Structure 1
């Protein structure tokens, strides 16, 4: 189900990885805040259409478009489609990502290459398009991780990729001086998504839930609220920052 009718004054958000998990929560929150939302997905068209259907059922405007974030031609086409359907792009939320957990000594380097293709190259490609296409008053939001500070074992490859994401984000914020575009990263702590829960025992999940002082896992909606703040009018003075949304972890 797709609804592409949008008033000329409506702001437009493009969310990569918008079909499930945190990306879906962000897509739904931004739509509830009045954005027309382009939901990008790499695979799983059914999940993307479910996200669009939920947005439409709530009275919002959304469109699902397939595109590999690490493929510059597909991302250029994604931004083209957003501009064709809605007239431009005001907010880009880059929520697409990949995780591979392993001790550094044991990691299959093919898994490392796949992770870095999505998390580093993908972030760079999306950031390039955002830098070229975002309208004045716009925002780019990328995703890092609290693991950069927590330094959990088995997260070496993932944390390394997210360190690169933070560098790209903070440098781009400085490069866009004078454009009236904010660039920030959100670094979630343990958040109850399929990506996080996959492969963990109930005991591991319980231990991680007790790590923040608030003693619970975050929810996708918790993270979506932080993104909505940065992307909205109340977050315009936040620029070139990493916001650690983690319930009080270091």
Structure 2
């Protein structure tokens, strides 16, 4: 199996690439500037019996997505799974938000998801078991006022729309497209209190990893267009 996880040098992305690594699998680790952490992630993947492939690119543009796609074609010759994990987060009141910050948030969320998927969709279509998993947010399906996180939620809500649209367009090719909606994870900085989370605890990287692992499995071959909440009841 050939798997690409964007933004996988550290944090959730690294946890996902390690979760999916297994003997015989090719794992593409993408990073923008975190070369050291990416190399550490590659070593961890290799230790799990998989084959790590490193690629650097700025996914804030379609050019970066094309760079990654060209690398995948040259190194792997195909692709079975795409996990769109890359994405920035900023907390800033709308009154103080710059146009550059707005555009960067949109570029790193919905635009990165769209461009990366479009760049490799031909490979996934011929895979025979193509899987696309997009990372959104547990509150992205709520159309609410977001004065301090507006561009982030515009982007993450857009990811859900892209997910459902491509689930329809890609179903005839046997490609499934789903979204994971994480809640407050225990690696968040700052880490808010868990008192408002119905489950009574923060989510773990493994909680998200388990959901992603299911969606890329054979058991999920008929699951497409789904939004899976992994938030312990947060934002419900």
Task: Tell whether the 8 Å contact from 2:60 to 2:104 is kept in structure 1 after alignment.
Answer: no
In structure 1, runs of 5+ residues without a counterpart are 1-10
Indicate yes or no: 2:225 matched with 1:240.
yes
Match of 1:163 among 154, 157, 167: 157
Indicate yes or no: 2:128 matched with 1:143.
no
- Corresponding residue for 1:95? 85
CA–CA separation in structure 2 for the residues paired with 1:232 and 1:220: 18
- Corresponding residue for 2:16? 26
The 3 A distance-change label for structure 1 pair 149 and 87 is closer
Q: Per-residue deviation at 1:70?
A: 2.9
Across the aligned residues of Structure 1 and Structure 2, the Cα RMSD in angstroms comes to 1.8
In structure 2, runs of 5+ residues without a counterpart are none
Task: Tell whether the 8 Å contact from 1:188 to 1:223 is kept in structure 2 after alignment.
Answer: yes
- TM-score between both structures, scaled by the size of structure 1: 0.86
- TM-score between both structures, scaled by the size of structure 2: 0.91
Q: Per-residue deviation at 1:206?
A: 4.4
Q: Per-residue deviation at 1:97?
A: 0.4
Moved over 4 A (4+): 149-153
- Corresponding residue for 1:132? 122
Superposition pairs for residues 5-84 of structure 1, below 5 Å?
11-32=1-22, 35-84=25-74
Q: Per-residue deviation at 1:117?
A: 1.6
Q: Deviations over 1:63-111 (max 9, x none)?
A: 1111122332332232232233223100000100011112223323321
Task: Tell whether the 8 Å contact from 1:144 to 1:188 is kept in structure 2 after alignment.
Answer: yes
Q: Deviations over 1:104-139 (max 9, x none)?
A: 233233211111122122111012123222122110
CA–CA separation in structure 1 for the residues paired with 2:159 and 2:87: 11
CA–CA separation in structure 1 for the residues paired with 2:50 and 2:75: 15
Q: Per-residue deviation at 1:61?
A: 1.5
